[in-house]
Chains A and B, each alone.
Chain A
């Protein structure tokens, strides 16, 4: 249900504005809204400057926490600094130190990954180079040619020898990746020519990591290995410094972040406050039962100078009121389904309780299988164990548990256990939907009629509550027409006495005239659309029958494969596929029946969420 709201006005001397906002933040009930006063005042420059300082300091704090790899502590108490400038300087210092350490770690890791990446390349040369270089002052060129370019090595060797006549040595080896490692050793005199030749041939040198640009490969290779051995120690040393910094500054930074975030929330609220030279006015919404709390807290902490007054106990017609949903614990997890759509407008109906009843019912009616229900219950239980309280995953697990219970209940009703195996475990169908296809179709459409009728009732109530009397009467007449149509159909098929048919048809015609008079010609289209919506519930029968048939086919595989074992394996796989389809398809279609058919009758989206000024909490 939607929580009933009240608009209040808080007025007091300007000097008490900051304290008032702090008290409101501690109480955490007021959704601050801009008062209806001319908005001609220039923004307060001092406040804007303060805000910029806070944002800059917060940026330093969050960057430092991130670089120190400190997780968000949801229970960290706010750390109010004795001096804001000193705190800002300290945060900046810690951020710089943390960034330096993070950069050092990053550089070491990059170096190690580069060395590891080319380890095979250098190992190839370790096998190739068995002698000192001919030219101690010469230069080495490292080249990797792409896979399949082995023939290019010979061409490269020929060009080098033609150009440099014995002042160059080329060694090559195929790598496991298919690439070719090529080492060119050249005298200092020949080196520029080699470099030019490689550029002309569009052959790129391997970028050598720092510290291995040795001219002598025999000296370079041990240097590489030594460097690889040193890096873990360097990383460990840097990490120790990071941990020490996190140990000394982590708690302070976390507390300061909470304080600064709270301050920013107060700055945001302040932009919606009317503040003149000598007084301030705050207006906002709060749940009706919390008014007494607010008045008492203001009285005790701020005294008689700050006055709280109600602007009027709003009824459900307040378009601007924010929306807060509050449902009993049993229904609350189903808010995860209604919150997929925008919030309902204030004064309309929160559909969550109806979703909590009908969604599991539709799901169970479609799947209707004890085996699938037990599997789903197992999955839901697992999800519940793995999820934290008050999270979306926990809500999903509760919804899944409700769906599994409904699936098992309808499975017992239909006598189904993985399709046609029900009798094997002693289940006797009370309603055999494999044979009673038409009654199942009738049941589905009748259920749709009830659901849509409920939607029309809710539409009438919602319209009446918001003062739209004509619309409320129109919805009631539409509902009456729906009921009369159902009764006349029953009379036509002689379920009711046939003599009732004519009076019922006359009543429908009268109701139709009234409906057109109330809502205009649009009512005709809406009526046809309502009938279409009811027929759409036939999908419950269609999906249910399809699911059952798939299960029956799976069971028949056992005897149809020649070997019982092979057949059983295929049947098991088919059941798994059917179970996966049975999770997805009924969920989508049960949701669709709610969002499109049911909500379409009464749901008015577009409500603003109730966001009271409160303390900052990290997102879960």
Chain B
């Protein structure tokens, strides 16, 4: 039971930040596309701005791994 809960916790740890990242990228993406229509030279900056919210899901992944390692231990 405890292992199942830990697995569920790991899933939440990555799932919720993934939703948050998706929401943020969903807002940054159109803004970046609109920017690129006017200033194509900002393409690299736009890609980096889109990548910034990925921090959430990446840290979520780290936490999920830590939880799973605990479950395994």
Contacts and interface: CB of A to CB of B under 8 A. Distances in A.
A and B form one complex? yes
Interface in A520-553: 535-536, 538-539, 541-543, 545-546
A437 B58 contact: no
A543 B58 contact: yes
B62 A592 contact: no
Contacts of B59: 535-536, 538-539, 542
Nearest to B43: A340
A340 B58 contact: no
Contact of B48 (A437, A438, A545, A592): A592
A170 B58 CA distance: 72
Contacts of A149: none
A320 interface: no
Contact of A589 (B44, B51, B62): B51
A459 interface: no
A230 to B, nearest CB: 44
B35 interface: no
A542 B62 CA distance: 6
A223 B55 CA distance: 70
Nearest to A540: B58
Interface residues on B, range: 10 to 19
A591 B58 contact: no
Nearest to B61: A542
Given A441-B62, A545-B65, A536 B55 contact: yes
A596 interface: yes
B69 interface: yes
Contacts of A517: none
Contacts of B55: 536, 539
A438 B69 contact: yes
Given A340-B44, A437-B69, A438-B69, A592 B52 contact: yes
Interface string B36-63: 0000000011011001101100110110
B51 A538 contact: no
Contacts of A438: 66, 69
Contacts of A596: 52
Contacts of A441: 62, 66
A267 interface: no
Interface string A588-613: 11011001100000000000000000
Nearest to B51: A588
Interface on chain A toward B: helix, strand, loop, or mixed SS? Answer: helix
Contact of A542 (B48, B51, B58): B58
Contacts of B54: 539, 589
A45 B55 CA distance: 59
B58 to A, nearest CB: 5
A619 to B, nearest CB: 14
Contacts of B52: 592, 596
Contacts of B61: 542, 546
Contacts of A589: 51, 54, 58
Interface in B5-61: 44-45, 47-48, 51-52, 54-55, 58-59, 61
Given A539-B58, A596-B52, A588 B65 contact: no
A27 to B, nearest CB: 31
A591 B65 CA distance: 24
Contacts of A341: 45
Contacts of B44: 340, 591
Given A589-B51, A596-B52, A538 B69 contact: no
A546 B61 CA distance: 9
A592 B46 CA distance: 12
B47 to A, nearest CB: 6
A588 B58 contact: no
B48 A595 contact: yes
B45 A592 contact: no
Nearest to A545: B65
Interface in A320-341: 340-341
B12 to A, nearest CB: 17
Given A539-B55, A541-B62, A588 B47 contact: yes
A410 B44 CA distance: 27
B57 to A, nearest CB: 9
| Max chain A C-beta neighbours (<10 A), residue from B61, B62, B66 | B62
Contacts of B62: 441, 538, 541-542
Contacts of B51: 588-589, 592
A591 B58 CA distance: 16
Nearest to A591: B48
Contacts of A437: 65, 69
A592 B48 CA distance: 6
Nearest to B44: A340
B28 to A, nearest CB: 13
A534 B14 CA distance: 20
Contacts of A543: 58
A287 B45 CA distance: 31
A437 B70 CA distance: 12
Contacts of B69: 437-438
A588 B44 CA distance: 9
Given A437-B65, A437-B69, A438-B69, A538 B58 contact: yes
A530 B45 CA distance: 22
A588 B55 CA distance: 12
A433 to B, nearest CB: 12
Contacts of A539: 54-55, 58-59
| Max chain A C-beta neighbours (<10 A), residue from B58, B59, B69 | B58
Interface string A377-395: 0000000000000000000
Interface of B: 44-45, 47-48, 51-52, 54-55, 58-59, 61-62, 65-66, 69
Given A535-B59, A591-B48, 8 more contacts: A341-B45, A441-B62, A536-B59, A538-B58, A539-B54, A541-B62, A542-B58, A596-B52
20 contacts: A437-B65, A437-B69, A438-B66, A536-B55, A536-B59, A538-B59, A538-B62, A539-B54, A539-B58, A541-B62, A542-B59, A543-B58, A588-B47, A588-B48, A589-B51, A589-B58, A591-B48, A592-B48, A595-B48, A596-B52
Interface of A: 340-341, 437-438, 441, 535-536, 538-539, 541-543, 545-546, 588-589, 591-592, 595-596
Minimum-distance CB pairs A-B, first 3 = A539-B58, A542-B58, A588-B51
